[in-house]
Amino acid sequence: MAQFSLALLALLACFTSYVLAVSPIEVRGADFVNVVDGTRFQMIGVAYQPGGSSGFNPEAGIDPLSDADVCLRDAVLMQRLGVNSVRIYNLNPDLDHTECASIFNAAGIYMILDVNSPLPNQSLNRGAPWESYNADYLERVFKVVESFMHFNNTLGFFSGNEVINEDSVPEVPAYIRAVTRDIKDYIAARGIRPIPVGYSAADVRPLLMGTYDYMACGLANETTSKIDFFGLNSYSWCGDASFTSSGYDVLVEDFSNTTIPIFFSEYGCNQVQPRTFTEVQALYSDQMTGVFSGGLIYEYTQEPNDYGLVTLNDNGTVSIMIDYDNLRQQYDEIDVAALERANSTATSLTAPDCATSLLAGTNFTRTFAIPALPSGADDLIRNGIDGNFPTGTKSITNTNVGHTVYAVNGQEITGLELNILANDQSNLPGNNTSGSTPEGGSSPSGTSTGSSPSSTANAAVKADGIKFGSVMVGALSLGFYLQL
Ligand SMILES: *[C@@H]1O[C@H](CO)[C@@H](O)[C@H](O)[C@H]1NC(C)=O
Ligand SMILES: *[C@@H]1O[C@H](CO)[C@@H](O)[C@H](O)[C@H]1NC(C)=O
Ligand SMILES: *[C@@H]1O[C@H](CO)[C@@H](O)[C@H](O)[C@H]1NC(C)=O
Ligand SMILES: *[C@@H]1O[C@H](CO)[C@@H](O)[C@H](O)[C@H]1NC(C)=O
Ligand SMILES: *[C@@H]1O[C@H](CO)[C@@H](O)[C@H](O)[C@H]1NC(C)=O
Ligand SMILES: *[C@@H]1O[C@H](CO)[C@@H](O)[C@H](O)[C@H]1NC(C)=O
Ligand SMILES: *[C@@H]1O[C@H](CO)[C@@H](O)[C@H](O)[C@H]1NC(C)=O
Ligand SMILES: *[C@@H]1O[C@H](CO)[C@@H](O)[C@H](O)[C@H]1NC(C)=O
Ligand SMILES: *[C@@H]1O[C@H](CO)[C@@H](O)[C@H](O)[C@H]1NC(C)=O
């Protein structure tokens, strides 16, 4: 009896001192690849900005990864949904995100992070990028990078989101390449694994391929300004559309020669509601996986622009929306084994050389002279940013969701709990972990075209919960002590 308990205690010690983690992901040719087992990685993800624009408030010390209880709740609901990645837009690098990053890591969920924010001087100015590209701006960018680069579940960074559009000046693409270069040089100078850095484009079709071509080509005189991946924010599949009526067939054709991973960095048109997400079957089928590496549904929480999967209620509870159930059903039909299959043709592709002939049809600068590092930034790259930054993910001990969650039918979902995955595992559809399963929903139809919502978002209320951590470990240890 005592021996048995000792064995359990030893097991517990193991469990709490080793950090279980997802495997790092790297870009090889046109695919994301799991560096540990060599399988292909495709994004099955959601945009995550709980609280909308008020969920990012540096003065109040709030951003989407600042409250561990909220992250735990959402990671559990996302595990259940079947996602393996989240995109987070606005982050405050002065906050410690270790708890939240560790929760998502334990859940088998990767994070893809924007380095910019809507606050003044925290993004490139599309009308005059030379004014905003300075050492102060880069310092903030490097701080975001520094505060996430030690987490194995950091999938990548976006150096820009929808900077290029009808109003951007011809020089903007060169500046995005400059920021991409600086982030990659910063990561390399710290001796960190090559974390992918890419761009998230607005679906402005006349500019789309020119943007891709400018960003993804290789330069003989420097290698780091080329983007590692290209995200497209696309809302062209609405309701029960089809591969052709949505124009997805055109995207697949246009990007068919890609030499870097392409994915939807936002998708999920809301012009027909509730959303049934029939595009999921196209995206994860062989109609598209030869070119696309999945995508991120916009977005996890319901905000005023009406793209949510769950509603955060004013009283601190959460209500699952029918869209969540619909999406979960669609995810459940994905052939996961096919998605993970390695493709040696795709992984050995190399970028074409940059040439001004690639820019036909655009009004981008006819040069690949990438702006030099601004004065003062050289020192930041060489010596790093001062400050206390996280050194990696840590073990998670509390797994119980403290918030009340209601199913679509209004009944409370009980027994919601984080499923801490084994080392090197990531979450997949069908690995549903906890809680009672509500019934699925209806199937309306219709088609139309949407526009990007990612620059609009406003406010909802955030919930509060119980702090956890050492108390839980203490309670467990005491339990074993008494048993001995
Ligand atoms: C990160 O992943 C690498 C490769 O699998 C592994 O060696 C390392 O221990 C991991 N780090 C953490 C903190 O889990
Ligand atoms: C933004 O940068 C400009 C130019 O460097 C500076 O004058 C201004 O004070 C900055 N604004 C904020 C809010 O930091
Ligand atoms: C660049 O070209 C696009 C598409 O042809 C056009 O809409 C936009 O007005 C042009 N922008 C500038 C700054 O000339
Ligand atoms: C892809 O490459 C092939 C072979 O070079 C070429 O014929 C085709 O036009 C290219 N497709 C696109 C969309 O660029
Ligand atoms: C393998 O990669 C090549 C090049 O990207 C692509 O054309 C082909 O469709 C892929 N094969 C599969 C089965 O996805
Ligand atoms: C919280 O608010 C939601 C939505 O208004 C409501 O359905 C639920 O009953 C409320 N729960 C409690 C405990 O007040
Ligand atoms: C690097 O090569 C590109 C393309 O040939 C050229 O436009 C650019 O001026 C070169 N940059 C430098 C610093 O020589
Ligand atoms: C998750 O699902 C995948 C694919 O269906 C399966 O191979 C794997 O064993 C599951 N993992 C867990 C922890 O249930
Ligand atoms: C998914 O959840 C349902 C309901 O909780 C359960 O019946 C089913 O066995 C679960 N499937 C897997 C693969 O865990």
Strand order across the 40-41 sheet: 25-28, 31-34, 40-41
Q: Running DSSP on this structure, what letter comes out for residue 469?
A: S
Q: Which residues in the chain land under pLDDT 70? A: 1-18, 432-433, 436-484
Q: Show the tokens assigned to 113.
A: 């992070």
Pocket, ligand 1, Cβ cutoff 6 A: 19, 21, 23-24, 36, 152, 392-393
- Torsion on CA atoms 164, 166, 169, 170, rounded to nearest 10: 80
Residue nearest to ligand 9 atom 4, measured at CA: 437
> Does the C-beta of 414 come closer than 6 Å to ligand 4?
no
User: Can you give the pLDDT at residue 471?
Assistant: 26
Beta-carbon contacts of 346 under 8 Å, excluding residues fewer than 6 positions away, are: 29, 30, 31, 40, 290
Instruction: Round to whole Å and give the CA distance between 422 and 105.
Output: 11
User: Can you give the pLDDT at residue 454?
Assistant: 54
Taking each helix axis as running N to C, give the angle between helix 470-483 and helix 2-17, from 0 to 180 degrees, rounded to the nearest 10: 160
Q: pTM to 2 decimals?
A: 0.88
Q: Show the tokens assigned to 105.
A: 């890591």
Q: Show the tokens assigned to 212.
A: 């891709």
The CATH architecture to which 22-472 belongs is Alpha-Beta Barrel (3.20)
Number of residues that make up the chain: 484
User: Which residues in 115-190 belong to E strands, given as ranges?
Assistant: 154-161
User: Can you give the pLDDT at residue 343?
Assistant: 98
Alpha-carbon distances, residue 123 vs 106, 114, 178, 203, 253 (angstroms): 31, 10, 13, 20, 32
Beta-carbon contacts of 9 under 8 Å, excluding residues fewer than 6 positions away, are: 480, 484
Instruction: Round to whole Å and give the CA distance between 404 and 384.
Output: 43
Ligand nearest to the CA of 435: 9
User: Which residues in 250-359 belong to E strands, given as ranges?
Assistant: 262-267, 292-297, 310-312, 318-320
Cite the DSSP H helix spans in 293-387.
322-332, 336-340, 344-347, 377-383
Cα–ligand 8 centroid distance for 441 (angstroms): 25
Comparing C-alpha atoms, which of 50, 52, 54 is closest to residue 100?
A: 50
Amino acid, res. 468:
F
Catalytic site residue from 146, 162, 299, 303 = 162
User: Can you give the pLDDT at residue 460?
Assistant: 23
Residue 439 among the catalytic residues = no
Q: Name the residue of 121, 130, 133, 140 whose CB sits within 8 Å of the most ligand 2 atoms, as the mutation to test its pocket.
A: 121
Residue nearest to ligand 7 atom 9, measured at CA: 369
Given the CA of residue 253, which atom of ligand 4 is nearest to it? 13
Can you tell me whether residue 17 is helix, strand or coil? helix
User: Can you give the pLDDT at residue 444?
Assistant: 26
C-alpha torsion sign, points 346, 347, 353, 355: positive
User: Can you give the pLDDT at residue 434?
Assistant: 77
Ligand nearest to the CA of 415: 9
* Contact predicate 164/173, CB 8 Å: yes
Residue 266 among the catalytic residues = yes
Burial class from Cβ neighbours inside 10 Å (0-12, 13-18, 19+) for residue 472 reads: middle
Catalytic site residue from 266, 279, 299, 303 = 266
Comparing C-alpha atoms, which of 271, 301, 275, 268 is closest to residue 458?
A: 301
